[in-house]
Structure 1
Amino acid sequence: MTTKTLVVGSTGATGKHVVLQLLQQSQHVHAIACNKQRLLDLLDEIEPKSSSLYAKQLEVTEASILGLTDEDLKKITKDVDAVVSCLGHNISFKGIYGKPRKLVTDASRRLFTAIEANQTENQEKKTKFVLMGTEGVPNPAGGDNPRTRLERSIIFMLRYLIPPHADNESAAEFVHSKRDNPNIEWTVIRPTDLIDGSVTNYELFDKPQGALFGGDDKATRANVAKSMVDMILTDSLWEEWKYKMPYIQDMI
């Protein structure tokens, strides 16, 4: 099976792995990146000469996601089978407290709008949407294990003092609300504490396992990317987790 996937947040610590792993699986990728050369350099850091090896499979639009027009996004999403959002805020004062405050939410909303606009012209086309969240983002449908008073207090402070956390929650809530279009199916991947590392084995759960802070569970960014790629390429896995918010951790 050959697919075409749009990846936003492609130069991020996880997004670059999503792009490369799809290319390694002989898939086509359309990446949105503010700096194309930076993306190519990041791919070469993971796998030397990969940017040239997979050049025919990779298309890059050099722009910021929120800088594109509605018509641009409609054209970009027209022929894709899946969209993966690994967007996040830069870990800097400007990245955390500056604009855009709702990067992930606004991008998700605009991408859904573009996909839906294309589906009015091709009502049979189905699209998968994969959003990267965090362990601290609650499932709007409920079902997560109850948090301790300390954890609830910390999440409350994060929500009101750290804008990126509120953005991640808002994005998950928006995606969760989108079940009225049967031709757009989604999942929100919630990783535990992220670390660098290679692809190994991972586990998916329907809710976070253990303590929110200070636990031993980890997830390599490469494994988080692998879970997203597996979702796109493995129909049985997608059927199991679509319209859900799986929690991912490395297999111990």
Structure 2
Amino acid sequence: MTVLVVGASGATGRLLVEDLLSRGHRVRAIIRAPGKIPEALRSHHLLSIVHANLLDLSDDNMTQHVNGCTAVASCLGHNLTLKGMYGSPRRLVTDAVRRLCEAVWANRPQIPVRFVLMNTAGNSNRDLNEPVSLGHRSVVGLIRLLLPPHIDNEKAADYLRTSVGSNDSAIEWVAVRPDTLINENSVTEYAAHPSPTRSAIFNAGKTSRINVAHFMADLITDDDTWSRWKGRMPVIYNKGFS
């Protein structure tokens, strides 16, 4: 299996790459700054690195990099700086998802490619009409106005829901929604739910990045896990916060 990972130099993306490599899978990573990947990882014989800014790639190059991959995983996110949150590109995640999907379609794969998007528990799955309080909706509305990355996360997941949908012959997808991200050194017990079991605004849970990476790797490599969650937006919490 060959997996294309974008956002591989980020805190969760690095862990996903490491997890996939440890399972014996080939990883192709598009990275703007390869130096952010530890040398021990960069030199792994199953890892190939494409040194490029993802959104600067031509359509032909994007199609070439996606070709031969059985799965695509996006751990892209905005840097928590003024430029990262308010500068260009405002739709980093959404544009990446759209262009990667278009590249998959251009390749016309015989077997559907698994697309796994790292999203956020603060984004509701509008396919399920998930109930939220008036206060929650009000705060989210304010966040949409003040923090462009939140809208980007919403639109990226909406692209998979509405533009790809649940019956596409070339792409199957899952959008993973962790709650407040924390760092842990090893995988611990965690649980995935179809919808949030608590308010991401007023009663947030916690999800370790390494657990997110582990769950994404399971989705990519385990048929039973994929069958359970494809076309859905599971919310993942560390045990004790679900």
Question: Shorter-normalised TM-score: what interval?
Answer: over 0.9
Deviations 1:153-206 (A, max 9, x none): 110011121100000001110011112522310000000111011211210000
Q: Distance in 2 between matches of 1:99 and 1:231?
A: 31
Identify the residue that residue 76 of structure 2 maps to in structure 1.
87
Written as runs of structure 1 = structure 2, the 5 A alignment for 1:103-252 is 103-119=92-108, 122=109, 124-144=110-130, 146-177=131-162, 178-179=164-165, 180-197=167-184, 198-215=186-203, 217-252=205-240
**TM-score (norm: length of structure 2):** 0.94
CA displacement 1:64-111 (0-9 Å, x = unmatched): 110111011100011000000011001000100000000000000000
Q: 1:204-242 deviations in whole A, cap 9, x for unaligned? A: 000011122243621100000100000011101100000
Q: What is the number of residues matched between the two proteins? A: 237
For structure 2, which runs of at least 5 residues remain unmatched after alignment? none
SS in 2 for 1:137: coil
Distance in 2 separating the partners of 1:71 and 1:40? 29
Structure-2 separation of matches of 1:5 and 1:98: 30
Separation in structure 2 between the aligned mates of residue 109 and residue 51 of structure 1, nearest angstrom: 27
Q: One-letter code of the match for 2:192?
A: L
Alignment of 1:18 onto 2:3: no
Distance in 1 between residues matched to 2:202 and 2:183, nearest whole Å: 18
> Per-residue displacement from partner, 1:23-71 (whole Å, max 9, x unpaired)?
0111100001111122134xxxxxxx3443xx21000001111011101
CA distance in 1, matches of 2:137, 2:204: 20
Matching residue of 1:34: 32
**Aligned counterpart in structure 2 of residue 76 of structure 1, from 65, 73, 77:** 65
Q: Is the 8 A contact 2:179 2:204 kept in 1?
A: no
8 Å contact kept, 1:4–1:80: yes
* RMSD (Å), alpha carbons: 1.3
Alignment TM-score, normalising by the size of structure 1:
0.91
Contact conserved, 1:143 with 1:207, CA < 8 A, in 2?
A: no
